[in-house]
Amino acid sequence: MMQIKMLVLMSKIRRILNHSFAILISLIMFVPIYLLVVNSLKDSVQSRAMGLELPTSIHLENYLAVIEQGKLGAAFLNSVLYATTATIIVVIFSTTAAFVLSRNRSPRNRFLYFFIVLGIAMPINYVALTKVMQATHLINTVAGIAMLYAATKIPFGVFLIYAFIESIPREIDEAAIIDGCDPFTLFFRVIFPLLTPAWVTTAILSFLDFWSEFILPLYFLQSSAKWPMTLAVYNFFGRYEASWNLVSADIVLTILPVIVVYLLGQRYILSGMTSGAVKG
Amino acid sequence: MKNKMYPFYFSFGAIALYSLFMVIPGLMGFYLSFTDWNRYSSEINFIGFKNFELIFSKQNYWHSISNSMIFTVVTIVLKTVIALLLALLLTKGLKRFVNFHRVVIYLPAIIPMIVIGIVFRSILHPTTGVLNESLRGIGLDFLAQRWLTNPHIALYSVIFVDTWKGVGFIMVILIAGLQVIPSEYYEAAQIDGANGWDELWKITLPLLMPTLTVTTVLNLLYGLRVFDIVWVLTNGGPGYATETVYTVVFKEFSKGRYGVSTALSTLLFVIMSLFGYWLIKAMHNKELDR
């Protein structure tokens, strides 16, 4: 009797320890976001040390200040423009390519699939890329940067969607063909809707990455009017390094969209991250 | 029939963008790394292996390669070990709030690296930073360091921040790997009297090996091309202490020395394409096993 009681107590203690440890880790993961939010509400004196303490008075005007001084509006719109355009390109090109490469596995198509998927590992040769960008007159243009973003995620998109297409029975294609569908109707009216989970995952993951992209605009967008949020924030930080309240407010506005997309789409993100790596 | 219903031109968009922006520059890099291409002259002359000789003879280039290697190896070890502990905790140690913790621990992975860098510049500040303040607060003054300006520890501070950001991503993949291990194995082991330790070493780890291979390769590919976090936290400094391949590539590029810059990129391109080939083969084999 005594022994059973001991065992129950032990497992209880263990459970409490596990929970405390998990909470501690989650807190550590959350500290930076907490720091940003509380310091974005402080005045410039209190935020100097970017400390953990709560603001003594709430200063929402920091947000207005950064929107005006940081030209945040323009940078925000740029980021939205680049990230959405590139995401749409990735979704359309990856689904169409994955569809034909997966359904018609001729030796040529198998080779092309591996050729594209190799891009997941391939680093971009930024320096040589400037030559391509100049030759195609795409350097410093919106279209250029959007296509460039898209190109970096197409290999991942094709990989993810290719695997998903296998789960859609070929009988569906055959039925559609008998009903007189041409390839376009078959794909856009029948297959594309069935691919929704896969392309939504691809879209969310691509969008998050495009929103965070720093190195491509650093190389290929010289004019500050075309900068996305990441470059604008970095530049803002350089100019206002001492004013952590403004820097924090600027950053909170920058990461708000990704946090919203993440919280809304976390089911897709977590499933997408894993479907590629683990085949169950 | 197949060619009619699955027209080849459906794949043209993907192939065109990918080839134009990733493959062609990669291949052009091979040629350009053997030239004296630079900003100040419109002529590009073939100069043989001079750029590579320079890379292997000058200390700061060589240093950047070794830093990238150290960064890669240490982050692989740290992320894998910590992520595995957390994945085990969330799948086996907890019954409730699992999804909550998973969402929070993954959160840093979606925040732009540039933002993480800026926040940690303040957290790691020697006098006013939260880390040193907390250490002093609990009486561990001797542990308070100049995290980002001491050349001996700056690289490890960068590694620490990167691990903090990346561990959730690896954890999520490992959780999925753990969930596909059939529970019958554990039940059978328990009947045979195995303890938790035996289960970990004899069931969990061996069956998790394919997933661990994938996460290791992902970490490897990420580590070798690290740029943003170093750029924001230390900008390669103090001195050359935290310079990595891609920060040097960018610095040489800014100075207009395109030839050397391309040569370094090309070295990386070759190494990583080989690893990439290996990764795809590993994933493909797993598909066949199924």
Confidence tier at B289 by pLDDT (50, 70, 90): very low
Q: Is B1 exposed, middle or buried (0-12, 13-18, 19+ CB in 10 A)?
A: exposed
% of chain B surpassing 70 pLDDT: 96
Measured in whole angstroms, the distance separating CA B137 from the mean position of its chain's CA atoms is 33
User: Average pLDDT, stretch A259-263?
Assistant: 87
Confidence tier at A90 by pLDDT (50, 70, 90): very high
Cβ <8 Å between A183 and B4:
yes
Dihedral sign from CA coordinates of A97, A102, A104, A106:
positive
Please determine, for residue B32, whether its predicted confidence score (pLDDT) is greater than 70: yes
Residue A70 pLDDT? 61
Is the CATH code 1.10.3720.10 the one for domain B49-289?
yes
Please determine, for residue A277, whether its predicted confidence score (pLDDT) is greater than 70: no
What pLDDT, in 10s, does the model give residues A135-160?
888 888 888 999 999 999 999 999 88
Angle, CA of A110, A114 and A115, to the nearest 5°: 110
User: Which CATH number goes with the domain that contains A139?
Assistant: 1.10.3720.10
Taking the domains of chain B in order of start, what are their residue ranges? 49-289
Rounded to an integer, what distance in angstroms lies between the CA atom of residue A71 and that of residue A110?
48
Is A43 within the bounds of a domain? no
Cβ <8 Å between A35 and B119:
yes
Q: Which chain A residue lies closest to B108 (C-alpha atoms)?
A: A29
Which residues, numbered 270 to 289 in chain B, qualify as contacts with chain A under a Cβ-Cβ cut-off of 8 Å? Answer: 272-273, 275-277, 279-280, 283, 286-287
Residues spanned by the domain of A198: 71-239
Residue B156 pLDDT? 92
Confidence tier at B290 by pLDDT (50, 70, 90): very low
Q: Confirm if A194 and A169 have CB atoms less than 8 A apart.
A: no
Cβ <8 Å between A121 and B180:
no
Which token pair is A269?
């993100």
> What radius of gyration do chain A's Cα atoms show?
24
Predicted structure pTM score: 0.85
Is A265 within the bounds of a domain? no
What pLDDT, in 10s, does the model give residues B236-274?
778 788 888 889 888 888 888 888 888 888 888 888 878
Rounded to an integer, what distance in angstroms lies between the CA atom of residue A101 and that of residue A116?
11
Cβ <8 Å between A262 and B118:
no
Confidence tier at B8 by pLDDT (50, 70, 90): confident
**Average pLDDT score, chain B:** 84
Report the residue of B91, B122, B173, B254 to disrupt the A interface, i.e. the one with the largest count of A CBs within 10 Å.
B122
Which residues touch A116 (CB under 8 Å, ≥6 apart)?
A97, A101, A154, A155, A158, B14, B15, B18
Q: Indicate the range of A38-47, A231-240, B27-36 predicted with least confidence.
A: A38-47
Which residues, numbered 131 to 190 in chain A, qualify as contacts with chain B under a Cβ-Cβ cut-off of 8 Å? Answer: 131-132, 136, 147-148, 150-152, 154-155, 158, 173, 177, 183, 186-187
User: Average pLDDT, stretch B180-185?
Assistant: 85
3-class state of residue B35 by DSSP = strand
Which residues, numbered 192 to 221 in chain A, qualify as contacts with chain B under a Cβ-Cβ cut-off of 8 Å? Answer: 208, 211-212, 214-215, 218-219
How many interchain CB pairs under 8 A, A with B? 291
Cβ <8 Å between A230 and B268:
no
User: Average pLDDT, stretch B94-109?
Assistant: 86
What pLDDT, in 10s, does the model give residues B41-75?
777 778 877 778 877 887 778 888 889 989 999 99
Query: What is the number of structural domains in chain A?
Result: 1
Please give the C-alpha separations between residue B89 and each of A19, A64, B167, B255, in angstroms, as whole numbers. 9, 43, 14, 49
Confidence tier at A96 by pLDDT (50, 70, 90): very high
Closest-CA residue to A79 (of A213, A215, A238): A213
Confidence tier at A42 by pLDDT (50, 70, 90): confident
Which residues, numbered 58 to 97 in chain A, qualify as contacts with chain B under a Cβ-Cβ cut-off of 8 Å? Answer: 89, 92-94, 96-97
Cβ <8 Å between A219 and B253:
yes
How many C-beta atoms lie closer than 10 Å to residue A114's C-beta? 14
Which chain B residues have a beta carbon less than 8 Å from that of A277? Answer: 173, 176-177, 211, 214-215, 218, 283
ipTM of the complex, rounded to two decimals: 0.84
